[in-house]
Each structure stands twice: as structure tokens, then as C-alpha cells.
Amino acid sequence: MSACFLALLLMACDSGSAAPIQAEPLAQFFLAPAPDTRGPLLLVSRFEITRAEFGEESDPWLAEFPAVGMTRPEAAAWARAQGMRLPTREEWLHLRTAGGAVSRETDRANTLELGLGRALPAGAIASGATGLGGYDFEGNVWEWLSSDVAPESDDGASETRALQAGGSFASYRVGPREAALREANSVDRASDVGFRTIAEALPWLHDHVLPRWRKADIEARAQMRRAVEGWGAELRVQLVRRWRQSYPVESEFALFLAGEGGS
């Protein structure tokens, strides 16, 4: 890496580190309402999936950069292996602005305006985070979505197209709503396209977190509690209420989610 790029990198990133890999996996997610507020609460990757997570990088310097170059089926398969999925078009557009719109200042996103010409480590520009704590919803790399664009005609002449969202270091800053989307072939590969994952909060917590919480020692439960405390008090109230309705026998875990009682 050139000294020039390193200097630009340091200027572009906020002071401190927003390194995505943390000791507690729950810290990798933020809690969000569904686009339809009557829908399920969602757990969403705070960061674009990194090279280390995707299993393609062991170099500590490169490990925190977003994974790129996968097709949409490959991204979807990785998400399924984690019990998650790719966001839909409606979900991604909603999550981009939920909790408050991101500032439009040039240095809040790694796009062409910033002038770096390559990806930054996931979450490096902390000042560009969404109101709920999602990073790089604008810039860094495009993100695969699960939604398709229907063919323009019914005669089969036009193929169904996949969607990518958010823009990248190689594109100018995207606009609101549909301007943040672009079409692509689902088997395309590109050096500026990655993804993030999403899941319905209640079943994912029940299947993937509750078993780990039951086996955790005091220190591990304390780390889990600190991660959950970052999800926002109002949304956690909804989460706890819905948990108690769906899993009434798991009342102790409900207390954990609420931040009450012991660890």
C-alpha cells in the first residue's frame, strides 16, 4: 500500500477504530423495525461482510475490508449458512434511513467524491453511520439484495435482473430511494460489490443466541449484555414484549434482553 493512500485513508477515517470484528458476535448486529411497523423486528449486519468473515483472507490488514467479487447466489448461500438472508429492496431502503437520514457531507461516505479509489475497512467512516448503527449504507461497496427487477416484456426476451444497493468507492454518491439501486446479472462478479445480512430477530435469537447464552459464563454473558444494550431502549422494549408473547417459557432470557435481573 502506498504512503499516499495510507495518508488519505487516515484522513478519511474517523479518529479511533470502528473495527467490525469484536469479541461478542451480537455486537455485529443492530436491531431495527421492519418497513411495515407491524412486521417482525430485524437483526441486521452493522457492517458489510468482511473478507475474514467470508473466509477468504487471513492477512490482518486486509481481513477487515469488505468481501467482494461473489455472485448473488454465493452471497445468499453464505447468509443462509449463518441462518440469515440478503435484505429485500424495501428492507434495505428502509434501513438506510431508519433512525434518521445520513449526512450528505462528502467525507461521510467512501464514494468517488472522497477520491480514494478503493474500499476502506468495513465501518471505517464512523460518522457515516445510520441512526440505528449501520455502517456503509452509502459507499464503500455495492451490496447484493434479494429482490429482482421483472422483465420489461412477457415474451421472455428480457432476463430478470438482480438489484445492488448503496454505491461504492467507484461510483458517485447515490441519491434517495430508487437512485440508490442499480440492476445487475445475479452471476456478475465485481471488485466493488459485496453484501450484508439480515434476519427476523425473534427466531434468530431463539435458534442461534439462546443456546449460547445458556452455556455462557458470567463474563461472556456480560459481553452479550453490553452488545444488546446498544440496540436502543425503545426497540428493546418491543423486542422483549414480542419475545414474551412468542416464547413465554423463556422468561429468564427475556430479562436478559431487557437488561434486568442478573447476567
Q: What is the pLDDT of residues 118-166, one digit of tens each?
A: 999 999 999 889 999 999 999 999 999 999 987 765 555 567 799 999 9
- Tell me the pLDDT of the chain averaged across its residues: 87
Q: pTM for the full model?
A: 0.89
- Among 16-25, 80-89, 182-191, the minimum mean pLDDT is found in 16-25
* Percentage with pLDDT > 90 across the chain: 72
Give me the pLDDT at residue 158, please. Answer: 60
Domains of the chain and any CATH numbers: 48-195 (3.90.1580.10), 202-258 (no CATH)
Hey, what long-range contacts does 101-107 have (CB within 8 A, 24 or more apart)? 101/131, 102/128, 102/129, 102/130, 102/137, 102/138, 103/127, 103/128, 104/173, 106/173, 107/12
Give me the pLDDT at residue 14, please. Answer: 54
Q: Which residue has the higher pLDDT, 183 or 14?
A: 183
Rounded to 10 deg, the angle between the 233-246 and 251-258 helix axes is 180
Amino acid at 130: T
